[in-house]
Structure 1
Amino acid sequence: MSDVTGEIANLRPLAQAREQKAWYWYDWANSAYVTTIGTVMFGPYFIGLAENAAGADDRVGFLGMDMAPGSVFFWLITISTIVGAVLLPPLGAIADRTANKKGMLAAFAWTGAAFASLIFFSTGDNWQLAAVAIVGGNLCLAASGVINDSILPIISDEADRDRVSSRGWAWGYLGGGLLLAANLALFTLLPFGLDEATAARISMLSAAIWWAGFTLIPFLRLSNHTPLDVVPQEGSVVKQSFAQLGDTLRELRNYPMAVTFLLAYLFFNDGIQTVIASSAVYGSEELGHSQTILIATILMVQFVAFGGALVFGRLAGRFGAKRMILNGLVVWMVIVTAALFLPEENVPLFLVLGFAIGVVLGGTQALARSYFSLLIPKGKEAEYFSFYHAMDRGTSWFGTATMAIVLQLTDSYRPAIFALIAFFVVGGALLMRVDTARGIRDAGNDVPAVI
């Protein structure tokens, strides 16, 4: 009897490994949107649409104010974050009460891809349709990210989280990089008489199709898991979820280390995401680089980040995730300082800066996800990751608002991007206050040998 039990118990690692491989594919799928649309193509393309609609004073009416086209872009990202901050926590509570997380993941992915496809139809001076597309796409990306990240603790043990999360991020950078390489070829060759604007629209449409298509793999191969720690509530599922969310908010004081990390993440992740979201705009508007150079640089970043994520994951197994995240934040401080002095149209130095970004980009993001998963209680992963994703990739709040304000005041992107150093300093200082072992014990999780 004991032999049979042992054989059954040994099947768990095999089932976990199978689901982990399926889970990696969602990072592969959504990274096409993040890279081709969010990082490279959309910013310059949107600003071009807004400039076509601008009046004689080179300003566009938005939110009752006359703004520079670049400022409108940053405010759109900020708006999507504010809306997400309101909508994602209730979504997380709903997700924690359902076994069909993979169905929710796919639904948000496919809706987001539909929004993203609207960019293809945004031409001339129709920046309003493009604005709807990016806000809707970003919201769905964040919503699907909540579901996706909440699956990580379900399919991996505490000691394995850094490795699994890092491989997911690495797989995502590889997928996003391959599609971006194809788009770079389209931009370089401009076949069939295409102009750059049409090539940009086709590239962004390809990212939407990629996102929707590859989401089929985790949808078909992931398993449903019975929800844990769900307190019975009266009323509809939505009413029950809001009640559970209220319970979770009241219980936050029991997990001070998780709350401290969220505050740290709010700052340093906003800095990271704002650098990512503004890199193409900074390179084109401030440094004068062509779209081809920008795409080539981001392409290099993708493949360097692939290796960086794997290396950071391996080093975390030796030195701990917290220490590696802090080391990464120091490099981010150096990056934004170097950007302040980067000369115009200097391609080699721009590539060096891109290489540095790639080294720390994948590692800090992957380890932040796995580190946070250790500090949250089982059964409420989606709720806690909903707070996490309110401040996540492509939807920076304070960072984009800071850049928009500094840009409006100085009319220069250089001081705007340097201002982000404050986010890395504050985020790092808060992260140093997190007692990792205590946080893991408070959440009721097993403390890995290396933290």
Structure 2
Amino acid sequence: MSVSTPQQRQLQRRWYWNDLGVTGYLTVTITVLLGPYLTTVANAAACPGQPTDQTCRTNLHVLGVPIAPGSVVPYTLTAGTIVAAVLLILGGAIADRARRPARLLAFFASVGSLAAMGLSLVTGTRWGLGVVLAMISTVCIALSTSVYNAIMVRITPAEDRDRVSSIGWSFGYIGGALLLIVALVLLGVHDAVGLSTTGAVRVIFLLSGLWWAAFAWYSATGLGSVRNQSPTDSLAAALRAGLSQLRATFGEIRRYPQTFRFLVAFLLYNDGIQTVISSASLYGNRQLGFSDNQLVLTILWVQIVAFAGALGFARLAARFGSQRSILYSLAAWTVVVTVAFFLPRGAFLLWLLLATGIGMVLGGSQSLSRSLFSHLIPSGEETKYFSFYQAMERGTSWFGTLLFGLIFQWVHDYRWSILTLVVFFAAGAAILRTVDIRAGIAAVGNQVPATLR
């Protein structure tokens, strides 16, 4: 049962729509199409004339550093998320002092969506342009989502955050599913409308960026009444205060050992989750031989299952608690990654069964982590601490993507890259088991919710 006021529920309804927009872009462009497409462009630059279904073993070079074409996308995501991790801490400190945080949400979404639309210009051997644009969109996703998460705390009572967070994730999966349907239709009829497969993918890149921009702006305009508690009028004053708070944050977080321990656990297991998400299409296309249509269909199925999974995990958390429910999901992630290693090439039905398992746990593990963390941070400093959180969520899975890319560069086989992700789930679960949630909530001065198990 909701404990939010009617005014809060009205704001929450507008808040949900941002998730629908950004997750649509993340799902279609980042999760499904960017990996195979940009890898093909990089292969064309390194091994011109070679069939696309063969592994290119000629390296590209960036500032004299050799890079395998098959590792370009993991390295790009790694670089983008490292930059995001640095900017998130400073950006969060500034956002805490912004008079209207919804304006920051709109700004970051605008810049990111323009970069997303720019991916439609990546053709031939222009892999460098694709790398730069993908990095910009990755950074902006992280920054905008940090502000978005902090706004949730402003408009939602503590007892209601599990519900609101889960609905937000569910909106995201709806957005991903709808945009996937558009992509699936366009890929299916591209010949009839005079487009090549490559041309259809570029059009989808453009549509995905527009989708993100439209729903982010709709959400932000409905949240204009949300104010921070200690607003600063001047941008220069906000920057000075942000730099000062940046220095203090590193010392402050040590005062809350349970919060810090949760963040370490989250860093580990979320790196595994985000790397599976961002690398699934690359693995399916290059290692298992599935087409773009099959990959879109797969992720569409994941969205359908994940919508129910996010809501189902909210009920699971109500019965067993968020911490235990997250641990259950991490056990399932370990099984999924291990099975993926042994999956034979071309076994699409088995691939779909594996996707079902991912969908069942994807929404729950992420939405409950966001909600649980919201209880472990001091009131009034939400954006600053959510910046740390966001640096370990959608914006920073750089340990996992870096390892994924390095393993492929060494052995030219994505199976071993995917199997190494087991260590992130195992280590994250081991640390999460040691977190005392009640002690952590009390330490930051928050009231322990009656719904906590």
Quick check: TM above 0.5? yes
Q: How does 1:138-287 map to 2 (within 5 A)?
A: 138-190=138-190, 191-228=192-229, 236-287=237-288
- 1:381 maps to 382
Q: Does 1:443 align with 2:435?
A: no
- 1:106 maps to 106
- 1:40 maps to 32
Distance 1:404 1:63 in 2: 18
Q: CA deviation at 1:296?
A: 0.3
Alpha-carbon deviations, 1:288-331, whole Å to 9, x = none? Answer: 11111111000100111111111111221221111111100000
Q: Does 1:131 align with 2:131?
A: yes
Q: CA deviation at 1:231?
A: 11
Distance 1:378 1:232 in 2: 22
TM-score normalised to the size of structure 2? 0.94
- 2:295 maps to 294
- 2:54 maps to none
Report percent identity of matched pairs: 43
- Runs of 4+ with deviation above 4 angstroms: 229-235
AA aligned to 2:346 is: E
Q: CA deviation at 1:230?
A: 7.8
Distance 1:16 1:320 in 2: 25
Report if the CA contact (8 A) 2:17-2:171 is conserved: yes
Tell me the C-alpha RMSD between the 2 structures: 1.9
Q: Secondary structure at 2:66's aligned position in 1?
A: strand
Distance 1:300 1:12 in 2: 33
AA aligned to 1:408 is: Q
Distance 1:242 1:272 in 2: 31
Q: How does 1:87-102 map to 2 (within 5 A)?
A: 87-102=87-102
Q: CA deviation at 1:153?
A: 1.1
TM-score normalised to the size of structure 1? 0.95
Q: Secondary structure at 1:61's aligned position in 2?
A: strand
Report if the CA contact (8 A) 2:85-2:396 is conserved: no
- 1:4 maps to none
- After superposition, the Cα gap between the structure-2 partners of 1:183 and 1:250, relative to the gap in structure 1 and judged at 3 Å, is same
Alpha-carbon deviations, 1:26-75, whole Å to 9, x = none? Answer: 00010111101110011111011111111475321224222221112111
For structure 2, the residue ranges without an aligned partner over 5 or more in a row are 49-56
Q: How does 1:396-435 map to 2 (within 5 A)?
A: 396-435=397-436
Q: Secondary structure at 1:66's aligned position in 2?
A: strand
- 2:79 maps to 79
Report if the CA contact (8 A) 2:95-2:383 is conserved: yes
AA aligned to 2:75 is: W
Q: Which moved more, 1:379-388 or 1:220-229?
A: 220-229
Q: Secondary structure at 1:193's aligned position in 2?
A: coil
Q: CA deviation at 1:376?
A: 0.3
Distance 1:225 1:154 in 2: 7
> How many residues are treated as equivalent by the alignment?
442
- 1:26 maps to 18
- After superposition, the Cα gap between the structure-2 partners of 1:264 and 1:343, relative to the gap in structure 1 and judged at 3 Å, is same
- 1:120 maps to 120
AA aligned to 2:281 is: A
Report if the CA contact (8 A) 1:102-1:223 is conserved: yes
- After superposition, the Cα gap between the structure-2 partners of 1:346 and 1:279, relative to the gap in structure 1 and judged at 3 Å, is same
Q: How does 1:324-403 map to 2 (within 5 A)?
A: 324-393=325-394, 395-403=396-404
Report if the CA contact (8 A) 1:60-1:67 is conserved: yes
- 1:3 maps to none
Report if the CA contact (8 A) 1:276-1:394 is conserved: no
Distance 2:63 2:270 in 1: 26
AA aligned to 1:52 is: A
Q: CA deviation at 1:237?
A: 1.8
Distance 2:341 2:404 in 1: 13
Q: CA deviation at 1:395?
A: 3.8
Q: Secondary structure at 1:434's aligned position in 2?
A: coil
Report if the CA contact (8 A) 1:25-1:215 is conserved: yes
Q: CA deviation at 1:450?
A: 3.0
Q: CA deviation at 1:11?
A: 11
Distance 2:236 2:207 in 1: 43
AA aligned to 1:90 is: L
- After superposition, the Cα gap between the structure-2 partners of 1:235 and 1:209, relative to the gap in structure 1 and judged at 3 Å, is closer
Distance 2:217 2:128 in 1: 31
Distance 2:337 2:267 in 1: 18
Q: Secondary structure at 2:61's aligned position in 1?
A: strand
Alpha-carbon deviations, 1:173-218, whole Å to 9, x = none? Answer: 1011101111011112213121110111111111100000111221
Report if the CA contact (8 A) 1:93-1:382 is conserved: yes
Q: CA deviation at 1:244?
A: 2.0
Q: Which moved more, 1:113-122 or 1:59-68?
A: 59-68
Q: Which moved more, 1:154-163 or 1:275-284?
A: 154-163
Report if the CA contact (8 A) 1:28-1:175 is conserved: yes
Alpha-carbon deviations, 1:112-156, whole Å to 9, x = none? Answer: 000111111111111111111100000000000110001111111
Q: Which moved more, 1:245-254 or 1:91-100?
A: 245-254
Distance 2:3 2:391 in 1: 36
Report if the CA contact (8 A) 2:114-2:209 is conserved: yes
Q: Secondary structure at 1:237's aligned position in 2?
A: helix
Q: CA deviation at 1:232?
A: 12
- After superposition, the Cα gap between the structure-2 partners of 1:432 and 1:203, relative to the gap in structure 1 and judged at 3 Å, is same
Q: CA deviation at 1:433?
A: 1.1
- After superposition, the Cα gap between the structure-2 partners of 1:257 and 1:232, relative to the gap in structure 1 and judged at 3 Å, is farther
Distance 2:441 2:144 in 1: 25
